[in-house]
Chain A
Amino acid sequence: MVSFKLLIFVALCYVAFLFTVAFAADRRAAQGRDNWLRSPITYTLSLSIYCTAWTFYGAVGYAARSGLEFVTIYLGPTLVLVGWWWVLRRLVRIGRSQRITSIADLISSRFGKSTGLGVLVTVLAVTAATPYIALQLQSVTLSFEVFSQQSGSDWHGNDTNLTALWIAGGLTLFTVIFGTRNLDANERHHGVVMAIAVEAVVKLFALVAVGAFIVWGVAGGPVETLAMIDASPISQFQQPGGRWVALTFLSAAAFLCLPRMFQVLVVENSDERHLATASWAFPLYLFLMSLFVVPIAVVGLDLMPEGSNPDLFVLTLPLALGQQGLAMLSFLGGFSSATSMVIVATIALATMVSNHIVLPLWLRRRSSGASLHGDVRQVVLLSRRLSIAGVLALGYVYYRLSGGGTALAAIGLVSFAGAVQVLPSMIGGMFWRGATHAGAAAGLVTGFSVWLWSMFLPSFGVGEILSPQVFAHGPFGLGWLRPQALFGIEGLDPVVHAVMWSMILNSAVFFLVSILTFPTPLERLQGTQFVNVFDHSHGARSWTQNAADAEDLLIMSQRILGPTEAQAIFQREASAQGKAGYLPDVTPRFVERLERELSGSVGAATAHAMIGQLTQGASVSVEDLIAVADEAAQILEYSSRLEAKSSEQERTARQLREANEKMTVLSVQKDAFLSQISHELRTPMTSIRAFSEILVDGGIPRPDQARYARIIHEESTRLTRLLDDLLDLSVLESGQVTLSRQTGVLNDVLDRAVAAVGLRDSGLEVRRSRSDEAVTLVTDLDRLTQVFINIIANVRKYCDHAQPVLRILVSRTAAGVTVDFVDNGKGIDKDQQELIFEKFSRLTDPGKAGGAGLGLAICREIMNRLGGAISYLPGQGGAAFRVFLPAEPPDLPAG
């Protein structure tokens, strides 16, 4: 007898094991060692969330009731996968090129990035999935119940509800921890995927083990098993053809449309070629999962007492036959099936709820300039977490209200039929350019309503929500609206009836409204990109005139993607354009690419709205579309070599233009400097000469003598300093400087620099994080200190805030260490940012600075010599300098 306590202990150990697996996988991915996490086998195993508790327990029950019909649920997905070249490849390619985050995002993005459609699909998906989540909770509590009855412990209704609550709570915790760890631009969850891959192996192993035991241990071999099937109540194959075809279709469609399947199939896919492996490996998985279902059902019907629940044969048979270990394994298999489905479904639904309902509402509330203020990342993560809790709470409430009891298979089919209402819009949108937003919306609403009326509401049972009156005579006596005999066609199987009518009406309305309405330009553009996804992978441009400023875009992107990633994207784009620094030209192509990156985090519609706020409503017109088309035709005419050449010329021209501008400004500055430097040299010289003449003449009282001598001394010190700076710079530039290699801690270097600047009476507050600064450096520390001193002194001079604050942020990357100095002042104008590192450049008020404008030029030379870099970091809310030190120091002589 397995004691109930032991069972709970094993279950808890298993859960702890899953947490460890997920945590380790996340860690490996964060370290970049994610090769095997992204293998085709992991991908295939993650698809197995198709097999939920409905498969693990329900398939046997289904077979015991209706014979071989259960197999249709697995034939459909097999057809979709072996024919992956038809739909799946296209779907995955679109998903990746458009950075799709969910099925609602796919529909919304295809039909003009519409928020309304996103909401519609989200509501549909949540309605359809809630009973299914409830079903999983029910199956786990049922399996607990079986064990508790076996071991004779007390088990009341309250305990069942409490178990369900604990399970829902635990699943929320797991999903929140691993599903919303970070806001990845690709929306991938390595920890979750790894955990469900492990669960996939457990459930397959468990079911095959039970099956093998039944066939060889109980029945006595395959031949005897077949004989037992022939002698069983389900020996005759009396399959209604309509159900067989309808269920195959339904399962194939659901495989594509279920939010959780879309999540693992498309969103978590990292390489299109994994599909090729999954095309045979996943059908094999389904084959093995189904192979022993009929034998288990037949043996169960034979051995178990009359009236026992066939849905639990997988668990009760081993128990009845005294195989405690096997029963425990089977329990873990069922537990795995239920939990993995709930986790992925919750993540998929929460992404949809958060991206298509919560975020748009939040954006609307903060209407103007919302994209520039507040940390969007935190809002997105919070709304995801709340959505996860919300979805699971809905599932739990449904479980409590329905009270369980309905046969598992029935709920599964209702949920499938709801999810596939997306199919016409999805397939139509992928293959037919003429599909419009209005068509999709009308089709979805029609399909959803027919499903609600003919399948979802009747699923609660006659007399529960719909009265027997309505079933018999229709609402308000309208006979043609009877839920299970629409338009007066009677005698159809309820499932076939609902699937057939909802699909026919959905598709017909979708098609009719599509051909009668006219798409907006953006819809047409998206339609072309979806339908011709294999022709131009980078897509056509969508923004023509742009008022957006690169710096504003950077600020917004930082809020969504995080500073590191956003800066990397901007820097990459800038260098592709042949520019230095972080601010590329705002070309339509760049804006489009950026929008796609953002949509990976917050969904297409939201990203489009946020970018739209900044580009100030610059939208596509039909003329733009024609221009795009013309352009595409022209490009085809040119040879690819010519194209490459012209883009290179463009890049060179841009560089030349930039260099020219810089030189013009520099020449002006140089003239200014010459007069400045003569002035700087002359002022001290004049006073030195004057005072020394007075001293030479003699006859001055002693105190005056000392005073004059001190003035001469101070003035010559100033001169020396100026000449030292000039000398320092020329030595650095000519490469004759000797640097020495020292080892030290960044913390100390910064301490020294801050102390040297002497901030006591300047009112400047320095905020540092000591823990981040504990980095060991191998470089010329004295020179580095000089750089830091220069930057801090600059901040002290120029920061114009009433209460100046300097933040020093240290971060470590694989390439090296970056130290950011960010103040809260006005910052530096964009046109000045290019010039501050040049020699002799000085901002505005020369008197205030009291130097010759050589400081930052020296800093740049030093950093170049040390193998690092110093740059101005725009978009930080004040002036910001970034010092980068490479992890590998250049060859320096030991000092």
Chain B
Amino acid sequence: MSSGPNPNVFLGRSSYRTRRLRDAVMILPVLGLLLWNLPLVWQGGPGPKLTSSVLIFVFGVWLALIVLALVLARPTMPGDAEGKESGPR
């Protein structure tokens, strides 16, 4: 999300990669929202929907999101200059 006028249209390979990974972080909640609402609409076979299978599905999606967030956390971390405490305190 780089708003504002930015003269550098062409970025280096590594910062280009970082930006795309940040895009990936931003898509994660959308993915989670879609998958977690899936049990509301699915028609799994002839019998009634079982709590146990929905439980496994919901927690499985949860674990997958955690792993993805873990993988993406380090490469997308804000740089030193961006995130530090302001002022010499």
A residues contacting B by CB (< 8 A) are 67-68, 71, 75, 78-86, 89, 96-97, 185-186, 226, 229-230, 232, 234-239, 241, 244-245, 248, 270-273, 276-277, 279-280, 283-284, 287, 290-291, 294, 532, 534-535, 537, 572, 636
Say if the beta carbon of B86 comes within 8 Å of chain A.
yes
Q: Which residues of A contact B32 (CB under 8 A)?
A: 75, 78-79, 82
The 3 closest A-B CB pairs, nearest first, are A83-B29, A272-B83, A280-B69
Say if the beta carbon of B17 comes within 8 Å of chain A.
no
**Can you give 22 A-B contacts (C-beta < 8 A)?**
A68-B55, A78-B62, A82-B66, A83-B26, A85-B76, A226-B56, A230-B50, A237-B49, A237-B53, A244-B37, A270-B85, A271-B83, A273-B83, A279-B25, A280-B70, A283-B65, A287-B59, A287-B63, A532-B3, A534-B1, A535-B3, A537-B86
Q: Which residues of A contact B15 (CB under 8 A)?
A: none
* C-alpha gap A81/B52 in the complex (Å): 26
Q: Which residues of A contact B77 (CB under 8 A)?
A: 273, 276
A-facing mask of B54-89, CB < 8 A → 1, else 0?
111011001101111110011011100011111011
Q: Which of B25, B55, B73 contacts A229 (CB 8 A)?
A: B55
Give B55 Cβ to nearest chain A Cβ, in Å.
6
Say if the beta carbon of B9 comes within 8 Å of chain A.
no
Given contacts A82-B68, A270-B85, A283 and B62 within 8 Å (CB-CB)? yes
Q: Which of B22, B52, B86 contacts A85 (CB 8 A)?
A: B22
Q: Are B78 and A68 in contact (CB under 8 A)?
A: no
* C-alpha gap A91/B74 in the complex (Å): 20
Q: Which residues of A contact B29 (CB under 8 A)?
A: 79-80, 82-83, 86
Given contacts A96-B86, A244-B37, A82 and B51 within 8 Å (CB-CB)? no
A-facing mask of B19-57, CB < 8 A → 1, else 0?
000100110111011001101110000001111111110
* C-alpha gap A234/B1 in the complex (Å): 44
Given contacts A68-B54, A83-B29, A239-B39, A287 and B4 within 8 Å (CB-CB)? no
Give B65 Cβ to nearest chain A Cβ, in Å.
5
Name 11 extra pairs, CB < 8 A, besides A238-B49, A248-B33.
Answer: A78-B32, A80-B29, A82-B65, A83-B26, A185-B89, A230-B52, A234-B51, A237-B39, A290-B59, A294-B51, A572-B88
Q: Are B78 and A89 in contact (CB under 8 A)?
A: yes
Q: Which of A79, A241, A280 contacts B73 (CB 8 A)?
A: A280
A79, A235, A239 — which one has the most chain B CB atoms within 10 A of its CB? A79
Q: Are B65 and A276 in contact (CB under 8 A)?
A: no
Q: Which residues of A contact B33 (CB under 8 A)?
A: 79, 248
Nearest chain A residue, comparing its CB with the CB of B51:
A237
Q: Which of A82, A230, A245, A532 contacts B28 (CB 8 A)?
A: A82
* C-alpha gap A195/B20 in the complex (Å): 39
Count contacts on B: residues with CB < 8 A to the other chain: 48
Q: Are A276 and B55 in contact (CB under 8 A)?
A: no
* C-alpha gap A636/B4 in the complex (Å): 12
* C-alpha gap A241/B49 in the complex (Å): 14
B residues contacting A by CB (< 8 A) are 1, 3-5, 22, 25-26, 28-30, 32-33, 36-37, 39-41, 48-56, 58-59, 62-63, 65-70, 73-74, 76-78, 82-86, 88-89
* C-alpha gap A78/B28 in the complex (Å): 10
Q: Are B62 and A237 in contact (CB under 8 A)?
A: no
Give B8 Cβ to nearest chain A Cβ, in Å.
14
Q: Which residues of B contact A86 (CB under 8 A)?
A: 26, 29
Q: Which residues of B contact A280 (CB under 8 A)?
A: 66-67, 69-70, 73
Give B73 Cβ to nearest chain A Cβ, in Å.
4
Q: Which residues of B contact A82 (CB under 8 A)?
A: 25, 28-29, 32, 65-66, 68-69
Q: Are B40 and A186 in contact (CB under 8 A)?
A: no
* C-alpha gap A272/B81 in the complex (Å): 11
Given contacts A186-B89, A284-B66, A229 and B51 within 8 Å (CB-CB)? yes
Give A23 Cβ to nearest chain B Cβ, in Å.
23
Q: Which of A185, A232, A244, A287 contacts B40 (CB 8 A)?
A: A244
Q: Which of A89, A271, A284 contacts B85 (CB 8 A)?
A: A271
Q: Which residues of B contact A78 (CB under 8 A)?
A: 32, 62, 65
Interface residues of A, dominant DSSP: helix
Give A71 Cβ to nearest chain B Cβ, in Å.
6
* C-alpha gap A273/B73 in the complex (Å): 9
Q: Are B74 and A237 in contact (CB under 8 A)?
A: no
Q: Are B78 and A273 in contact (CB under 8 A)?
A: yes
Q: Which residues of A contact B52 (CB under 8 A)?
A: 226, 229-230, 235
Give A51 Cβ to nearest chain B Cβ, in Å.
15
Q: Are B69 and A85 in contact (CB under 8 A)?
A: no
Q: Are A237 and B68 in contact (CB under 8 A)?
A: no
Q: Are B78 and A237 in contact (CB under 8 A)?
A: no
Nearest chain A residue, comparing its CB with the CB of B54:
A237
* C-alpha gap A371/B20 in the complex (Å): 51
Nearest chain B residue, comparing its CB with the CB of A84:
B25
Q: Which residues of A contact B40 (CB under 8 A)?
A: 239, 241, 244-245
Given contacts A85-B22, A270-B85, A237 and B50 within 8 Å (CB-CB)? yes
Nearest chain A residue, comparing its CB with the CB of B24:
A85
* C-alpha gap A97/B86 in the complex (Å): 8
* C-alpha gap A534/B22 in the complex (Å): 15
Q: Which residues of A contact B26 (CB under 8 A)?
A: 83, 85-86
Q: Are A245 and B37 in contact (CB under 8 A)?
A: yes
* C-alpha gap A241/B39 in the complex (Å): 9
Q: Which residues of B contact A535 (CB under 8 A)?
A: 3-4
Nearest chain B residue, comparing its CB with the CB of A538:
B86
Q: Which residues of B contact A273 (CB under 8 A)?
A: 77-78, 83
* C-alpha gap A277/B86 in the complex (Å): 20
* C-alpha gap A84/B39 in the complex (Å): 25
Q: Which of B41, B73, B85, B89 contacts A279 (CB 8 A)?
A: B73
Nearest chain B residue, comparing its CB with the CB of A38:
B85
Q: Which residues of A contact B22 (CB under 8 A)?
A: 85
Q: Which residues of B contact A232 (CB under 8 A)?
A: 51
Q: Are B50 and A235 in contact (CB under 8 A)?
A: yes
Q: Which of B36, B55, B76 contacts A248 (CB 8 A)?
A: B36
* C-alpha gap A81/B59 in the complex (Å): 16
* C-alpha gap A284/B70 in the complex (Å): 10
Give A59 Cβ to nearest chain B Cβ, in Å.
14
Q: Which residues of B contact A230 (CB under 8 A)?
A: 50-52
A71, A96, A273, A572 — which one has the most chain B CB atoms within 10 A of its CB? A273
Nearest chain B residue, comparing its CB with the CB of A96:
B86
Q: Are A532 and B83 in contact (CB under 8 A)?
A: no
Q: Which residues of B contact A234 (CB under 8 A)?
A: 51
Q: Are B55 and A294 in contact (CB under 8 A)?
A: yes
Give B41 Cβ to nearest chain A Cβ, in Å.
8
Q: Are B69 and A279 in contact (CB under 8 A)?
A: yes
Q: Which residues of B contact A284 (CB under 8 A)?
A: 66
Q: Which residues of B contact A287 (CB under 8 A)?
A: 59, 62-63, 66
Give A274 Cβ to nearest chain B Cβ, in Å.
8
Given contacts A272-B82, A273-B77, A280-B73, A291 and B59 within 8 Å (CB-CB)? yes
* C-alpha gap A534/B5 in the complex (Å): 12
* C-alpha gap A273/B11 in the complex (Å): 23
Nearest chain B residue, comparing its CB with the CB of A229:
B52
Nearest chain A residue, comparing its CB with the CB of B23:
A85
Q: Which residues of A contact B85 (CB under 8 A)?
A: 96, 270-271
* C-alpha gap A236/B26 in the complex (Å): 34
* C-alpha gap A97/B85 in the complex (Å): 10
Give A515 Cβ to nearest chain B Cβ, in Å.
22
Q: Which of B48, B69, B82 contacts A236 (CB 8 A)?
A: B48
Give B48 Cβ to nearest chain A Cβ, in Å.
5
Q: Which residues of A contact B49 (CB under 8 A)?
A: 236-238
Q: Are B51 and A235 in contact (CB under 8 A)?
A: yes
Q: Which residues of B contact A244 (CB under 8 A)?
A: 37, 40
Q: Which residues of B contact A272 (CB under 8 A)?
A: 78, 82-84
Q: Which residues of B contact A279 (CB under 8 A)?
A: 25, 69, 73
Q: Which residues of A contact B88 (CB under 8 A)?
A: 572
* C-alpha gap A81/B66 in the complex (Å): 10
Give A590 Cβ to nearest chain B Cβ, in Å.
13
* C-alpha gap A277/B53 in the complex (Å): 30
Nearest chain B residue, comparing its CB with the CB of A72:
B36
